[in-house]
Amino acid sequence: MSHLWESALLALRPRLSEENFRTWLEPLALERFEDGVVTLRIPNRFYADWISSQYLPLILDALTQESGTTDLQVEWVVDESLQKSLDEQAEEARRVASATRPPTPSAPPPPPLESGAPAESGLNPKYRFDNFIVGPSNQLAHAASVAAASSPGARYNPLFIYGGVGLGKTHLVNAIGHRIRQEKADARVLFVSAERFTNEFIWALQNHRISEFRERYRRRCDVLCIDDIQFLAGREQTQEEFFHTFNALYHADRQIVVTSDVYPQQIREMEERLVSRFQWGLVADIQAPAIDTRIAILKKKAEQEQIALDDEVALLIAQHVQSNVRELEGTLLRLAVKAELVNKRVIDVELATSALGAIAPRVPEKQTTVEDIQRAACEYFGIRLAELKSHRRHRAVSFPRMVAMFVCRQHLNTSYPSLGDLFGGKDHTTVLSACRKIGGLYDSEDREVLQAVAAIERKVGLPPLE
């Protein structure tokens, strides 16, 4: 077997760059070769994922050529001694390089990992609490963020903020970091996107610097803010690393803030143990801002950018752009540029009316969705969307949840399993039971149910049930 594997590696070496060959293939070892199954020993599970996607066809082709056996299959066996050997080799290489490098006392130390040094927080200086507009749609998320920033690691840890694109999640997370550093200048705050976390993890593995990666995220970090955590979905090895990072920070009472575009249990291909930990603290949602909030956002942005904006124009823009704060601010800036460079005048109603149609024409009314009905139910019953999707069984939450499920089923004909997923990961039998119970009360003309269903129908523009 040893001769077979050495021959295969010899054939593979010219087909890869020297760096890739030494990083990915040289650490592997052949465990067994029998009955058409090749068992390879690997340092960690990440090697299996990466090699399967990048080099497996080349390996199988080389083994087929050397052994004469076709239709080969590969099995992986994690051998921790290989990982230890890699770490020792990397440490020895760094030691030798350090010993032979000429002294350069005036030169700055090389940054760890790919680019940023730990001292760099990654925070955006523009995003602070004092320029965040608070309204009914984001009040809970804002209050929780302020509380987490005031007592990091003690209250609402972890803090999980979710909502649609451009509604202010990233703004709040950055604001938390700035407030903590304002109150404690030496606080080690690290803000990264889930994509960057993944890329740094891969880079650390490729360059045998995983110990530095863990030092950066687990020990030299007082506050970790991860944006768009749904990017980790399906990335098993990165989720594994983040899981241990989460545990290390949490048990050290260090603040963790996470954002996502959906509720934790709606992130597909996310490990259950991570989803569970996201709900240990507080889950807060951000909804699309109401028109008054949108006008306030426009006024604040105009003040920051020194743009003359009267109330009538602000109302017109707010009516035109209804769902996305980022788009709202972008529309204002585009109008300002058009007024300044093209028309040489201030933004008036005539300019705004003509330009808005060309910049962002209105789209046709969208069909009613499950989320529309959920939000209408929350507004009618006076509860939060996070509560509606939670597993609380108190009637103040369970009754609105059952009514919302019933309306979704009757008007949208959504399947029971799909409704279960959209209501926080409920079993389809739970949804079925809820729909039957509310359906029975509706048929018996229960006044409370009739009023609730009718109110939700009116709020989302649905015709009454026959």
For the segment 116-161, what is each residue's pLDDT rounded down to a tens digit? 333 456 788 888 898 888 887 788 889 999 999 988 888 788 999 9
Q: ∠269-275-279 over CA atoms, to 5°?
A: 155
Q: Domain check: are 152 and 276 in the same one?
A: yes
pLDDT tens-digit series, residues 310-369 = 788 788 888 877 767 877 777 777 777 777 666 556 776 776 776 676 444 444 445 788
What is the token pair recorded at 255?
A: 């603040």
Over range 219-224, report the average pLDDT.
90
Q: Domain check: are 424 and 334 in the same one?
A: no
Q: Domain check: are 282 and 296 in the same one?
A: no
Domain count along the chain: 4
pLDDT tens-digit series, residues 274-316 = 988 898 888 888 887 878 888 888 888 888 777 778 788 788 8
pLDDT tens-digit series, residues 405-451 = 999 999 888 888 889 889 988 888 889 889 999 999 998 888 889 98
Return the number of other C-beta atoms located less than 10 Å from residue 272's C-beta. 9
CB 194 within 8 A of CB 232: yes
Q: ∠171-175-179 over CA atoms, to 5°?
A: 180
**Would you state the pLDDT for residue 176?**
94
- Residue 120 CA to residue 228 CA, distance in Å, equals 20
Contacting residues for 393 by C-beta, under 8 A, at least 6 apart: none
Q: Domain check: are 198 and 258 in the same one?
A: yes
**Would you state the pLDDT for residue 226?**
93
At position 24, the amino acid (one-letter code) is: W
* 238, part of any domain: yes
CB 137 within 8 A of CB 293: yes
Picking from 312, 340, 359, the residue at the C-terminal end of a domain is 359
Q: Domain check: are 334 and 436 in the same one?
A: no
- Please give the share of the chain, as a percent, with pLDDT higher than 70: 86
* 57, part of any domain: yes
* 262, part of any domain: yes
pLDDT tens-digit series, residues 31-67 = 888 888 888 888 877 677 777 777 788 888 888 887 8
Query: Does 236 have pLDDT greater than 80?
Result: yes
Most confident of 38-47, 79-88, 196-205, 300-309: 196-205
- Residue 359 CA to residue 125 CA, distance in Å, equals 29
Structural domain harbouring 413: 370-460
